[in-house]
Chains A and B, each alone.
Chain A
Amino acid sequence: MSGPGGRPSLPPELEALVREVLEASGLDLPARADVEADLRAHFEDGLEVGVPWQELQGRFGDPAEAGRRIARARRDPGPGRGTSDGRWWMSATEWWTEVKRSVRRLARAPGFAAVVVLTLALGVGANTAIFTVVDAVLLKPLPYAQPDRLVRVYEAPLGRQSDNNDLYLRAPTVAAYRTWDDVFSSFGALYTYRALGADLTDGNRPERVTVVPITTRFLETLGVSPILGRTFVDEEMLAPEAGSTRAIRGAGRAVTILSNRLWEQLFDADPDVLGRSIHLDDVAYEVVGVMPPGFRDPFGPDADAWIPQSLQDNMDNWGNYYLSGVARLADGLSVETAQARATALYGQLAEANPDAGDWGPVLVPLHADLVGNTRRAMLWILVGAAGLVLLTACLNVANLVLARGLGRDRDVALRSALGSGRARILASVLVENALLAVAGGAGGLLLGWGGVRGLLALAPDALPDTTPPELGTSVFLFALAVTAVALLAFGLAPAWRMARTAPADVLRSGDRSATTGHAARRIRDGLVVVQVAAALVLVAGATLLVRSFVAILDVPSTVQAGGVLSFEVNLPVARYPDGASREAFHERLESRVADLPGVDAVGAVSWLPWSGRYHIWSFYWDPNDPTASGANDDAWYGTDIRIFAGDYFDAIGLRVLRGDDPSQVDMEAEPVVWVSRTLADQVFGDVDPLGQTIEVGGDPRRIVGIVEDVPVDARGRVTRHTYIPHAQFADDRNWALIQTVKAHSDLGALREEIRGEIRALDADLVLYRPRPLTQVEGTSRAQDRFATVLMGSFALLALVLSLVGTYGVLAGSVASRRREIGIRMALGADGPRVRGMVLRYAAALTIPGVVLGLAGALAGTRLLDRMLFGVKSADPLAFVLSALVFLGVGLLSGWLPARRATRVEPARTLTSE
């Protein structure tokens, strides 16, 4: 007889025995083949020495028992502390076996695996997305040389509360700062008005570009060199020769450094660009340098070109605050020491120059200055919120894993009793949880990436521009770290517990169900309570932010933004050299636009509402000095200057409270102004402002009207405004005016019609930045909207997770207590009583969680104080709402299990085992 592999086959009874042993062992190849070979060899050896097969069969023992023992012996090495031969660690093959086994186990429970992976992915994803933004904005150093040595320099009044915006520097002080080698190794400044631009006429069609006038050493201070050419030299900082046209006020010689983008756009990245010219506002500027790609000017991230800034005109002007300064601290100097030295040096400067006034320098680290305190606070709060989401997710997963683990308690106990090492059991649980964590982490990274793009789309204006967020190494490492933390949080505890489980206890209890064990139940309940608490904190925070945002939306507006189109047209000095030509253009444009169908009012202003403070000047008013001579030092006040033209007030719906409407005033008769309500109240008090003469911008002007206030930000903040008619100002300076057109027709179509009108008047002019006024209003709310939407999303996520978590525990509890329920029902408990039992359990889980959560929320929401508007962080309504929501969630999550509980048939549960 011949068997497999050509060996002589055994008698059929022994073959059957071998087969039975192998079947009972349940081994896979190649273990099975090994065992088969051993058994065959054993019988063959016996037959060889003449032992009859019946005896061999009889002496073998129970084949099924043998198979099981063989299986155990081959899978689990036997009693002892370690895995095999007392080792604590496992070999690579053993790990790989565990991995394969875990994958098989998880594949048999796809629902569980899917829920866990998704939950983890959400938690990790939220954190990764936020971290990407925080990394770019707060953590990554600015893209300049040794950025921690850079400071922003301000001038601020000493002691006295300033009426002016104390951001900007004066030309004489800049000149002084440059000489303070003990404080600054390098000092640079730039012309501060952010919206500076020029019309570039070299491209296919005229385009408005952002031009920033800078002093020497501005780029050197930042530590970034051009990739082509050079930076400016001192001669170029001088005022242009007499007679030559200066397009941009304060500009020096007609040279320019281009941004990389503009260089590529205009010159196709031609390396021979140096010496060629571009035309800004019709003036030729020679290109002397090109900046590297990705360079971002900290004060003008979208700058297209830089030109030299001449300080000469203003060297004696101690009243014009118009420069932004950045400095590099001298080696080894701390900011505090530098500040002290600068203050001392400034004191000497002030002594030598009485016009300097009681001012002093203020140094702020550049990174902090660019980010801003509010934004920083907001970002860290969002990090905390994301952390809470992760906590909720991990608690959820821990509960799921624990429940699953408890279901395997009996099998594990058997393994343990029969000798599986503790390390091996630990390993199998760890591997399974690690696989889940890795899958969840990978999913989280993907979600995070999508989340970042969503964040950027949501808030293009909410975040500073200097370093764009990207999915780089640090983000990847962060996601890894978060995943590892999550794994520790939900993975180790069940594993350790399982390894410590005394097998005898489990076997004795005889209960195979999923949630046995009082300790296990308490742990699961505890997890749910903490989860509810964490989610409640988030919901309370989100509720506060939503209420705050609603309050912002509700701020009554003195401006009617609907149906108003704004745009800019800039008149190059070359072709509109004086006030008359500029005024003539504006008049022609206004009358043509006013004639378009659907247009109700046309006006223009130098700076729109909701755009912050701008053009802050001083004006002089002394009731005892009707000539407004400026002699009384205490009679100077700060105000936001607005130059307006046409029917501006009508166009934006701003009411003239008292006095004359601009249309009624003869602009050629005398210099006049309108003032805002706040200015009238704060400066004039009981005196009637109408008819008073103030000096502003060097000219005495009579107040002829009082208008309503205009908000400068989304929260309705108002400042003192002074409105000067363009007709009386045009001669003085060439300020760009933003046109405002009120219409009841479609604004998009209107825009194109206006473009046509402009082209008809002057083909080289650019219609710049057309946008509805409502968009301006919306942009001002960008940061608040960003925070609210994000926090709201986190809160919703946590709420859903909490609902799922509570439901899971309640459902599991009902499932495991079927016998108890059956008994109770058999003893007379009816549906409502049983439901009541479940709902009481739901309440026992929810109420402590709500209490804990409220306490946490009270503490945590205080961090939101700075961000809130119109609502306090301890707002009772928000807390009550949040508590109600979770009590509702608790009841809801208990509803289905409660119903299922009443469907238990007592007879069946009592008789089944």
Chain B
Amino acid sequence: MTLEREWMRGAAPLAVLTLLDRREMYGYELVEALERDTGGLLSMGQSTVYPLLYNLEARGHVKPVRRTAPSGRRRKYYRITADGRAWLEGQRDQWEKLVTALGRLGLNGPETEEALP
């Protein structure tokens, strides 16, 4: 099961940057990680990931870095930038506020159970 498109549009850049915040990854690696670590919820085809990466690159949130892979090939890794981190922080903040607000309305997430006073 995947999320609806509207949700994906907001979540996808956030997810990618969260992953890249941990460490730099190359394209294929990123796709696999999204699939695996989100239990398939945020799985996007490669047709979506690359445009997203280009977008983030153009906005200055990520930066490509070339490294030599163990196999000897040159690989393009993506690394988050300072701007990207700043944006990510802001997005996380938004995310938490969203969850809190929805929680107050009674929409409980799996971890947050806020009893109404």
Query: Footprint of B on A, CB under 8 Å?
Result: 21, 35, 37-39, 41-42, 44-46, 48, 59-63, 65-66, 69-70, 72-74, 76-78, 80, 84-86, 419
A78 contacts B59, C-beta separation under 8 Å: yes
Q: Which residue of A lies closest to B43 (CB)?
A: A59
A41 contacts B47, C-beta separation under 8 Å: no
Determine the chain A residues whose CB is within 8 A of the CB of B46 once the complex forms: 42, 59-61, 66
- Nearest-neighbour CB distance to chain B for A770, whole angstroms, equals 79
Instruction: Show 24 A/B contacts (Cβ-Cβ < 8 Å), sorted by A.
Output: A21-B47, A35-B50, A38-B27, A38-B50, A39-B50, A42-B28, A42-B31, A42-B46, A59-B46, A61-B45, A61-B47, A61-B48, A65-B47, A70-B54, A73-B51, A73-B52, A73-B55, A73-B58, A74-B58, A77-B58, A77-B59, A84-B60, A85-B59, A85-B61
In the complex, which of the residues B45, B50, B75 has the most CB atoms of chain A within 10 Å of its own CB atom? Answer: B50
Determine the chain A residues whose CB is within 8 A of the CB of B28 once the complex forms: 41-42, 45-46
Tell me, in angstroms, the Cα distance from A436 to B78 when the chains sit together.
41
- Nearest-neighbour CB distance to chain B for A58, whole angstroms, equals 9
Determine whether B38 belongs to the interface, using a CB cutoff of 8 Å to chain A: no
Determine whether B113 belongs to the interface, using a CB cutoff of 8 Å to chain A: no
Determine the chain B residues whose CB is within 8 A of the CB of A41 once the complex forms: 26-28, 73, 75-76
Determine the chain A residues whose CB is within 8 A of the CB of B60 once the complex forms: 84-85
Determine whether B29 belongs to the interface, using a CB cutoff of 8 Å to chain A: yes
Tell me, in angstroms, the Cα distance from A21 to B28 when the chains sit together.
17
Determine whether B83 belongs to the interface, using a CB cutoff of 8 Å to chain A: yes
Main secondary structure of the interface of B (DSSP, over half): helix
Contact of A73 among B27, B54, B71 (CB under 8 A): B54
- Nearest-neighbour CB distance to chain A for B83, whole angstroms, equals 5
Instruction: List B29-70 residues whose CB lies under 8 Å from chain A.
Output: 29, 31, 44-48, 50-52, 54-55, 58-61
A85 contacts B83, C-beta separation under 8 Å: yes
Determine the chain B residues whose CB is within 8 A of the CB of A37 once the complex forms: 76
The 5 residue pairs across chains A and B that have the minimum distance between CB atoms: A61-B45, A61-B47, A66-B47, A85-B60, A45-B28
A62 contacts B47, C-beta separation under 8 Å: yes
Q: Which residue of A lies closest to B48 (CB)?
A: A61
In the complex, which of the residues A59, A69, A85, A419 has the most CB atoms of chain B within 10 Å of its own CB atom? Answer: A85
B50 contacts A66, C-beta separation under 8 Å: yes
- Nearest-neighbour CB distance to chain B for A589, whole angstroms, equals 93
Query: Footprint of A on B, CB under 8 Å?
Result: 26-29, 31, 44-48, 50-52, 54-55, 58-61, 71, 73, 75-76, 83
Determine the chain A residues whose CB is within 8 A of the CB of B47 once the complex forms: 21, 60-63, 65-66, 69
Apart from the given pairs A41-B75, A80-B59, A84-B59, 6 other A-B contacts in the complex at a CB distance below 8 Å: A41-B27, A45-B26, A46-B28, A48-B71, A61-B44, A61-B47
Tell me, in angstroms, the Cα distance from A65 to B75 when the chains sit together.
25
B54 contacts A74, C-beta separation under 8 Å: yes
Determine the chain A residues whose CB is within 8 A of the CB of B31 once the complex forms: 42
Determine the chain B residues whose CB is within 8 A of the CB of A72 once the complex forms: 51
- Nearest-neighbour CB distance to chain B for A97, whole angstroms, equals 12
Q: Which residue of A lies closest to B26 (CB)?
A: A45
Determine the chain B residues whose CB is within 8 A of the CB of A44 once the complex forms: 73
In the complex, which of the residues A35, A38, A419 has the most CB atoms of chain B within 10 Å of its own CB atom? Answer: A38
Q: Which residue of B lies closest to A7 (CB)?
A: B73
Q: Which residue of B lies closest to A64 (CB)?
A: B47
- Nearest-neighbour CB distance to chain A for B69, whole angstroms, equals 8
Tell me, in angstroms, the Cα distance from A63 to B46 when the chains sit together.
10
Q: Which residue of A lies closest to B61 (CB)?
A: A85
Tell me, in angstroms, the Cα distance from A72 to B59 when the chains sit together.
13
- Nearest-neighbour CB distance to chain B for A389, whole angstroms, equals 45
Q: Which residue of B lies closest to A46 (CB)?
A: B28
Contact of A77 among B45, B50, B55 (CB under 8 A): B55
Tell me, in angstroms, the Cα distance from A65 to B52 when the chains sit together.
13
Q: Which residue of B lies closest to A71 (CB)?
A: B51
In the complex, which of the residues A72, A80, A84 has the most CB atoms of chain B within 10 Å of its own CB atom? Answer: A84
Contact of A69 with B59 at beta-carbon distance under 8 Å, contacts A45-B26, A59-B45 already known: no
Determine the chain B residues whose CB is within 8 A of the CB of A78 once the complex forms: 55, 58-59
Tell me, in angstroms, the Cα distance from A22 to B59 when the chains sit together.
22
Determine the chain A residues whose CB is within 8 A of the CB of B45 once the complex forms: 59-62, 66
Contact of A70 with B50 at beta-carbon distance under 8 Å, contacts A41-B27, A46-B28 already known: yes
In the complex, which of the residues A60, A62, A419 has the most CB atoms of chain B within 10 Å of its own CB atom? Answer: A60
- Nearest-neighbour CB distance to chain B for A435, whole angstroms, equals 25
Determine the chain A residues whose CB is within 8 A of the CB of B44 once the complex forms: 61
In the complex, which of the residues B44, B51, B60 has the most CB atoms of chain A within 10 Å of its own CB atom? Answer: B51
- Nearest-neighbour CB distance to chain A for B116, whole angstroms, equals 36
Tell me, in angstroms, the Cα distance from A38 to B49 when the chains sit together.
11
Q: Which residue of B lies closest to A82 (CB)?
A: B59
In the complex, which of the residues A37, A42, A77 has the most CB atoms of chain B within 10 Å of its own CB atom? Answer: A42
Tell me, in angstroms, the Cα distance from A37 to B26 when the chains sit together.
13
Tell me, in angstroms, the Cα distance from A86 to B26 when the chains sit together.
25
Contact of A69 with B27 at beta-carbon distance under 8 Å, contacts A78-B58, A84-B60 already known: no
